[in-house]
């Protein structure tokens, strides 16, 4: 009797597992279908797209749309491509992510291990900044950038993303450091360690998981930003704005294969970041979620 029960349980468990995996595969296929359409059509001549099935594999495989999107596509008046704007995005993303992450780490350290009057109010204000819509800060930010003389420049965009990202990075590090034993900080103070020595020697070395979270979050937000780039970039546009110009610059017949290739090029860095470090992102989020 027990063997029959065990066999039934095994068959039920196997069926349940097959059903769950099948459902997950179905959802994954549905979710990845737009990416499949973009990839296959970016490898086709335009004539195949306009006269054939967009879901079909290319009859003639070509990388010409990718070359045009990268270096030869028409953006505005000048015959250029996404390449220089890719460099602009890197010049914006790297310092913005680095500065906002460092400031967020210091803020989290101060708000958890150096308590003072009003610290809760300051943290509340930083937390509130995470929920402010982009559109609300456009005019004040434009005024500030104009007074600083960095409007329409890469340093101006770096400042915008640093200011807007500090609230998020502070939240991550504050929650992460809150579970770290304060007694170790007090012991270091007794031994004569100062503010920055404790931060560099004790707090920062144990911040690897949450640093990955902060870097991935900020990198994704800054790289994918369009509103700030379109509002404050001037001639030094990031890649997302250049991609929009690439699509809008087509006159007559739309070059869908070039547009698809450009969209993939624009999304490729964030896609690679999540593929390489996605599991560390989840681990970092979970690291500061449970006190122990």
* Contact yes or no for 282/205 (Cβ under 8 A): no
* Contact yes or no for 277/216 (Cβ under 8 A): yes
Residue 152's H or E segment, with its range, is none
* pLDDT at 283 > cutoff 90: no
Task: State how far the Cα of 114 lies from the Cα of 236, in Å rounded to an integer.
Answer: 41
Helices (H), 43-82: 46-51, 64-67
pLDDT band at 235 (very low <50, low <70, confident <90, very high): confident
Query: What's the confidence (pLDDT) of residue 73?
Result: 45
Three-class DSSP category at 106: helix
Phi-psi region of 254 (alpha: psi -120 to 50; beta: other; left: phi over 0): beta
Q: Work out the average pLDDT over 201-220.
A: 89
What are φ and ψ of residue 74, in 5° steps? -85, 120
Query: What's the confidence (pLDDT) of residue 7?
Result: 59
Three-class DSSP category at 12: helix
List the structure tokens of 136: 């609300």
* Contact yes or no for 161/228 (Cβ under 8 A): yes
pLDDT tens digits along 102-126:
999 999 999 988 878 888 888 888 8
Query: What's the confidence (pLDDT) of residue 106?
Result: 94
* pLDDT at 250 > cutoff 70: no
pLDDT tens digits along 31-83:
989 889 999 999 999 888 888 778 888 888 999 989 988 886 444 445 467 88
Domain architecture of the chain: domains with CATH? 2-64 (no CATH), 83-287 (1.10.3720.10)
pLDDT band at 90 (very low <50, low <70, confident <90, very high): very high
Task: State how far the Cα of 7 lies from the Cα of 267, in Å rounded to an integer.
Answer: 48
Comparing 112-121, 175-184, 282-291, the range with the smallest average pLDDT is 282-291
Calculated CA dihedral for residues 266, 271, 273, 278, nearest 10 degrees: 160
The distance of Cα 172 from the centroid of its chain, to the nearest Å, equals 15
* DSSP codes joined into one string, 120-143: HHHHHHHHHHTTS-GGGGHHHHHH
Report the sign of the C-alpha dihedral through residues 246, 247, 250, 256, in that order. positive
């Amino acid at each position: 009797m027990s063997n029959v029960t065990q066999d039934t349980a095994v068959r039920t468990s196997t069926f349940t597992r097959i059903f769950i995996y099948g459902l997950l595969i179905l959802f994954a296929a549905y979710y990845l279908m737009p990416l499949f359409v973009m990839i296959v059509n970016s490898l086709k001549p335009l004539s195949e797209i306009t006269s054939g099935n967009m879901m079909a594999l290319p009859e003639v495989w070509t990388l010409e749309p990718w070359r045009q999107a990268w270096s030869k596509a028409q953006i505005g008046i000048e015959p250029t491509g996404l390449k220089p704007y890719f460099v602009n995005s890197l010049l914006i993303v790297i310092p913005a992510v680095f500065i906002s992450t460092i400031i967020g780490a210091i803020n989290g350290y101060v708000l958890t291990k150096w308590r003072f009057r009003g610290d809760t109010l300051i943290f509340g204000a930083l937390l509130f900044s995470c929920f402010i819509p982009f559109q609300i800060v456009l005019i004040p930010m434009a005024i500030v950038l104009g007074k600083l003389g960095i409007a329409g420049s890469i340093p101006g965009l770096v400042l915008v993303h640093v200011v807007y990202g500090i609230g998020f990075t502070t939240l991550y590090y504050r929650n992460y450091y809150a579970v770290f034993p304060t007694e170790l900080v007090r012991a270091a103070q007794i031994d004569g360690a100062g503010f920055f020595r404790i931060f560099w020697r004790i707090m920062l070395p144990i911040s690897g998981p949450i640093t990955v979270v902060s870097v991935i979050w900020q990198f994704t937000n800054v790289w994918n930003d369009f509103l700030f780039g379109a509002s404050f970039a001037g001639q030094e546009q990031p890649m997302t704005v250049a991609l929009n110009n690439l699509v809008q610059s087509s006159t007559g017949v739309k070059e869908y294969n070039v547009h698809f290739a450009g969209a993939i090029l624009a999304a490729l860095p964030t896609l690679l970041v999540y593929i390489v470090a996605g599991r560390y992102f989840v681990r970092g989020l979970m690291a500061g979620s449970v006190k122990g």
